[in-house]
């Protein structure tokens, strides 16, 4: 069996405008700064079982600022 | 009321104050999106109306050709020295005015206001629950953001009637009535001047106190004009908008019993449903002034003209939102733009979402069964929502 893929989330700080949708749909994967702008929690690694939440964070961002990267 | 000539052709003579638009704008936009995606009118000194998501998005991001110094398409405009930073600001000045306002409106900051909002909603429901029905716009929706905002600014809730009159004069009458607009701006400015000067001496914990302590990068405190402009903005932008969204949501649930019953049975769905209702009934339409010639989607755009930036129309574009005309409470992928896009994203979006969630949760918990009980009237202009919304319980 091949190794399972690792997923990471990433927030493009130049695009994020603080809509807070990623934090709402995937609260463990994102954190907010003092202005309410988002960044990935820790190293952005998506724990098993949260893949769908990562994908929802991406598809609910109005600014297209959230990326989900396969490694 | 001024009399306006009826619209002859929506593609070349559109008017968002026309009674047909006010009553039901969605078919007009759906038709234009197919036939003339960037409509124009010679009314209001000349203005464009894009209805496709991609074009609205492009304009929202393009601060070089599209200025925010005028943020409404109207017959008359407030003078430039009565700007309300940051909504009327362009880069580079916009950034500081916005950064200053962001910390008091983060999700964590807004969360501290939730118990107060719950108490406000329940007191309002107490007042009408035994009467068999109510005007859900006038007796419920409008009071919630007004009371929360009074609390946030540290001014008496009992001045709510005056706030409502100013908001109405700014956003409704003010579109066509310059004296009413100017009077409201002056009265608001004078009303907040005294508390602002007082907070400069004795700051408390309210938002006016917070603002008078903020500084420009060179170390000077924000000017009186800046503070008063931002306070006017918070009052005008933070009340009518949420009240209109909430009214429209209650209207939808009153006429769609299956959706109402579903939210009563599945209250955990409310946050997701709110996003869908925001998409379908986004209350706020902004505007930009064209300041340099450009092209959008092949259409030449001329300086001096206005653009009606209809986020509600973008939200109904079927190219982006499948079944855009249907409300799907559990729609999972929803990049709606009810709070705008780019650097002017609504600062109060977290506050609005909290108020909307609390107001729906409390209403559905205590009045699970209700339906429409009479004709509904809608506001016109920058913000769309029901102004009369009679409902019957049970």
Give A23's contacts in chain B (Cβ within 8 Å): 107
User: Quick one: which of B172, B177, B169, B186 has its CA closest to B75?
Assistant: B177
Cα separation, A32 vs B343, whole angstroms:
17
Cα separation, B62 vs B40, whole angstroms:
19
> What pLDDT, in 10s, does the model give residues B226-250?
999 999 999 989 999 999 999 999 9
Shortest Cα distance, chain B CAs vs residue A31, angstroms: 11
Domain ranges of chain A: 7-70
pTM for the complete prediction?
0.96
User: Quick one: which of B52, B63, B37, B65 has its CA closest to B305?
Assistant: B65
Window 2-31 of A, Cβ < 8 Å to B: 17-21, 23-24
User: Quick one: which of B313, B283, B47, B72 has its CA closest to B171?
Assistant: B72
Reading the block at residue B50, the tokens are 């894009």
CB of B339 within 8 A of CB of B85?
no
CATH number of A7-70: 3.30.70.20
DSSP H/E element including B335: none
For chain A, say whether B54 makes contact (Cβ under 8 Å): no
Q: Walk along chain B (394 residues) and give the pLDDT tens digit of each residue.
A: 457 899 999 999 999 999 999 999 999 999 999 999 999 999 999 999 999 999 999 999 999 999 999 999 988 777 766 678 899 999 998 999 899 999 999 999 999 999 999 999 999 999 999 999 999 999 999 999 999 999 999 999 999 889 999 998 888 887 778 888 899 999 999 999 999 999 999 999 999 999 999 998 899 999 999 999 999 999 989 999 999 999 999 999 999 999 999 999 999 999 999 999 999 999 999 999 999 999 999 999 999 999 999 999 999 999 999 999 999 999 999 999 999 999 999 999 999 999 999 999 999 999 999 999 999 999 988 899 999 999 999 9
For each of the domains in chain B, give its residue range(s) and CATH number, in order of start.
Answer: 10-393 (1.10.630.10)
Give the pLDDT of residue B158: 92
Cα separation, B91 vs B113, whole angstroms:
31
CB contact under 8 A, B335 and A32: no
CB contact under 8 A, B102 and A17: no
> What pLDDT, in 10s, does the model give residues B186-221?
999 999 999 999 999 999 999 999 999 999 889 999
DSSP reduced 3-state for B39 = strand
For chain A, say whether B102 makes contact (Cβ under 8 Å): yes
Cα separation, A10 vs A66, whole angstroms:
6
User: Which residue on chain B is closest to A65 by alpha carbon?
Assistant: B342
Shortest Cα distance, chain B CAs vs residue A59, angstroms: 5
Q: Measure CB to CB from residue A35 to each of B102, B275, B335 and give the nearest one.
A: B102
A1 confidence band (pLDDT: 50, 70, 90) = low
Q: Measure CB to CB from residue B350 to each of A34, A36, A62 and give the nearest one.
A: A36
- Those residues whose C-beta lies under 8 Å from the C-beta of residue A2, and which sit 6 or more positions away, are none
CB contact under 8 A, B102 and A32: no
């Amino acid at each position: 069996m091949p190794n399972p893929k690792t997923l990471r989330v990433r927030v493009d700080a130049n695009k994020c405008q603080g809509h807070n949708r990623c934090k709402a749909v995937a609260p463990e994967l994102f954190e907010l700064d003092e202005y309410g702008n988002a960044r990935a929690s820790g190293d952005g690694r998506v724990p098993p079982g949260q893949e769908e939440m990562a994908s929802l964070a991406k598809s609910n961002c109005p600014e297209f600022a959230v990326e989900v990267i396969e490694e | 009321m001024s009399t306006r000539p009826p619209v002859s052709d929506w593609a070349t003579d559109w008017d968002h104050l026309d009674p047909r638009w006010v009553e039901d704008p969605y078919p007009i936009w759906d038709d234009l999106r197919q036939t003339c995606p960037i409509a124009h009118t010679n009314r209001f000194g000349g203005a464009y109306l894009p209805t496709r998501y991609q074009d609205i998005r492009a304009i929202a991001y393009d601060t070089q050709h599209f200025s925010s110094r005028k943020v409404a398409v109207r017959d008359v405009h407030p003078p430039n020295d009565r700007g309300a930073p940051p909504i009327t600001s362009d880069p580079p000045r916009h950034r500081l005015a916005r950064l200053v306002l962001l910390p008091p409106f983060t999700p964590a900051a807004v969360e501290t206001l939730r118990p107060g909002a719950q108490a406000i909603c329940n007191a309002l429901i107490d007042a009408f629950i035994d009467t068999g029905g109510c005007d859900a716009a006038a007796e419920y929706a409008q009071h919630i953001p007004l009371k929360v905002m009074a609390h946030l600014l540290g001014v008496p809730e009992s001045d709510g009637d005056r706030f409502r009159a100013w908001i109405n004069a700014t956003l409704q009458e003010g579109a066509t009535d310059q004296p009413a607009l100017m009077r409201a701006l002056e009265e608001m400015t004078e009303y907040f001047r005294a508390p602002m000067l007082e907070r400069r001496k004795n700051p408390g914990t309210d938002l006016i106190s917070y603002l008078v302590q903020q500084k420009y990068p060179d170390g000077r405190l924000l000017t009186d004009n800046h503070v008063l402009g931002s306070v006017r903005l918070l009052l005008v932008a933070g009340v009518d908008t949420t009240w209109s969204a909430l009214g429209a949501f209650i209207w939808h649930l009153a006429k769609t019993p299956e959706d109402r019953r579903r939210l009563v049975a599945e209250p955990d769905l409310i946050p997701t449903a709110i996003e869908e209702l925001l998409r379908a009934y986004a209350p706020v339409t902004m505007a930009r002034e064209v300041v340099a010639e450009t092209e959008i989607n092949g259409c030449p755009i001329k300086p001096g003209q206005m653009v009606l930036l209809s986020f509600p129309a973008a939200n109904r574009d079927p190219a982006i939102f499948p079944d855009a005309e249907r409300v799907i409470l559990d729609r999972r992928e929803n990049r709606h733009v009810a709070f705008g896009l780019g650097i002017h994203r609504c600062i109060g979006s977290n506050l609005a979402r909290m108020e909307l969630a609390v107001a729906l949760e409390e209403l559905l918990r205590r009045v699970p069964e209700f339906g429409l009980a009479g004709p509904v009237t809608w506001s016109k202009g920058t913000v769309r929502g029901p102004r009369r919304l009679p409902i019957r319980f049970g």
